[in-house]
Amino acid sequence: MAIILDGKALARQVKQEVRAQVDAGGITPGLAVVIVGDNAASRIYVEAKKKDCAACGIASFEFALPADAGEAALLTLIDELNNRDDIHGILVQLPLPKGYSEQAVIQAISPTKDVDAFHFENVGKITTGDYIFLPCTPAGVMEILDHYGIDPAGKHCVVVGRSNIVGKPQALLLLHRHATVTICHSRTPDLAAMTRQADILVAAVGRAGLITADMIKPGAVVIDVAINRGEDGKIRGDVDFDGVAEVASHITPVPGGVGPMTRAVLLRNTLKAAQL
């Protein structure tokens, strides 16, 4: 049975560190959370982020726009937030409703307030390893690996998923740590042949049950980034946890693995933005 990588406990530690630094510093970090429309999952994430902020002494400001507010109104709001001194971080919850250009919205956020690290300037800095903010989920994964003494150097890391939010930056962060990295995606012909080569497997696709025990090299470290909500309302990752836990050496649970660390890194990024 694999060792369970407890992201929830680690996130608690990170939050305590952030809280201590906020208490020791002179200013209250402020995070603006912008939500457009009424996506149920987004609503849950936004509430969670506000609660996390409160627990760490970070001020959170919610801006909720109706789905039909329009991109111009959203861009005007972002401009105001860019210019507010009490707001250090700006997060626009994705996905946006139909009719909005996510790229235009993300690029309107000041790079120094871009706590998601989605702006081109921050993406470029991540690519060269010369960053201010790291994207929350990939950075959370790296912290889990570090905390459990799992060094990616020289390992073959296989990232399944090529999103701008997770897959691509995850591959870069692993590469910076001297891993050999393979990125797989929906058009990879024989996914299992690739994943079986992984010393460290990161699953970030969004399809429950995609990764099964037969796709895992015995002793591999398996990181499940996905949050899939089933018809029964239960949350599952991409990994068939029970089966894979019999083969892997380490595995993250869903929930309680990467998710809490994503949220913890957001808090740390907000603190960093306030310190800039």
Chain positions contacting ligand GUN, by CB under 6 A: 91-94, 116, 136-137, 165
Instruction: Pick between residue 38 and residue 246 the one whose CB is nearest to ligand GUN.
Output: 38
Q: Is residue 219 within a helix (H) or strand (E), and if so which, with residue range? A: none
Q: What is the token pair recorded at 262?
A: 């994503």
Q: What is the token pair recorded at 117?
A: 């690290």
- Beta carbon of residue 275, minimum distance to ligand GUN (angstroms, whole number): 21
- Beta carbon of residue 36, minimum distance to ligand GUN (angstroms, whole number): 11
Residues in the chain: 276
Return d(Cα 223, Cα 266) in angstroms, integer. 19
Q: Is 93 a catalytic residue?
A: yes
Among residues 151, 252, 158, which one has the least CA distance to residue 201? Answer: 158
Q: Is 13 a catalytic residue?
A: no
Q: Closest residue to ligand GUN, Cβ-based?
A: 94
- Beta carbon of residue 116, minimum distance to ligand GUN (angstroms, whole number): 5
- Of the residues 52, 116, 199, 224, only one is catalytic, namely 116
DSSP state of 97: P
Cα-based distances in Å from 29 to 54, 83, 90, 133, 189 = 11, 15, 11, 15, 47
Q: Kindly report the CA angle at 62 between 82 and 38, in degrees rounded to 5? A: 115
Q: Is 21 a catalytic residue?
A: no
Instruction: Pick between residue 94 and residue 235 the one whose CB is nearest to ligand GUN.
Output: 94
Instruction: Pick between residue 156 and residue 207 the one whose CB is nearest to ligand GUN.
Output: 207
DSSP state of 224: E
- Of the residues 15, 49, 113, 155, only one is catalytic, namely 49
Instruction: Pick between residue 116 and residue 240 the one whose CB is nearest to ligand GUN.
Output: 116
Active site residues: 49, 93, 116
